[in-house]
Amino acid sequence: MNFDIKYLNISVAKLHFSLHENELMVKAKSTNITSFLTDNIDNLYVVSYRDEYIPVVYKKMIKQEKYKENSTTIYQDNSADYLNTIKNENFKYTVSQDSREIFTALFYLRNLDLQNQNTINLDVNRNHWQVRSGFVKKCQINTILGKKKSILVKLDFKKIKGAVKIKSDILTNNLVNEKNSLYFWFSDDQYRIPLKAEYQTSPFSVTWLLTNYQK
């Protein structure tokens, strides 16, 4: 599953999602135009998970102009162990037993009743967050798959517990933000394909558009 990330209607990055045997891999790479608009990125996220997309091991390999990270977070019950080899950082902290990081949370959301309100616990940069989804409307949109009936949901993020803001990668910082809402269009069928996403950043919105999907 591939997405084109657009800012000012210009493609600034490509996203690739792949699922294989309880492992989710996300690759994010800048396009050539990105350096004029934001940091160049070449990021890799790998999550091993158990039932209902609960993470077991979360690895981040972040290569941005202004930020680097090579970390592994290991989850066990209500605790997590974070190790960043670039900064030689090691932290142990508590999490909710049903906490997810942002990417598995989005995949888990697809399995829920999108016309109801849902709340998912998140572990973001060693802070406890919640994402709350609300049904907006059903609509038909143009996609790479043709015209598709979709369910539009609004996602709002709230920090429940945590320290001051911890610097992290662009994707995480932009997606998980109390100031902005994230909108997702999912296909209104059994597959719940994420067709489009949009979130606001100052002064313009950023859009994700599906460019490739394989069942």
More confident position, 26 or 35: 26
When pLDDT is averaged across residues 78-82 and rounded to a whole number, the result is 94
Tokens describing residue 22:
């309880």
Over the Cα atoms of the chain, what is R_g? Answer: 17
Residue 60: count other Cβ atoms within 10 Å of its Cβ. Answer: 22
**Is the backbone peptide bond immediately before 194 cis, with ω within 30 degrees of 0?**
no
pLDDT over 90 percentage in the chain: 70
Tens-place pLDDT, residues 119-169: 999 999 889 999 999 999 999 999 999 999 999 999 999 999 876 667 788
For residues 26 and 90, give the distance between their C-alpha atoms in angstroms, rounded to a whole number: 24
pTM given for the model:
0.91
Tens-place pLDDT, residues 103-113: 999 999 999 99
How many residues does this entry show for the chain?
A: 215
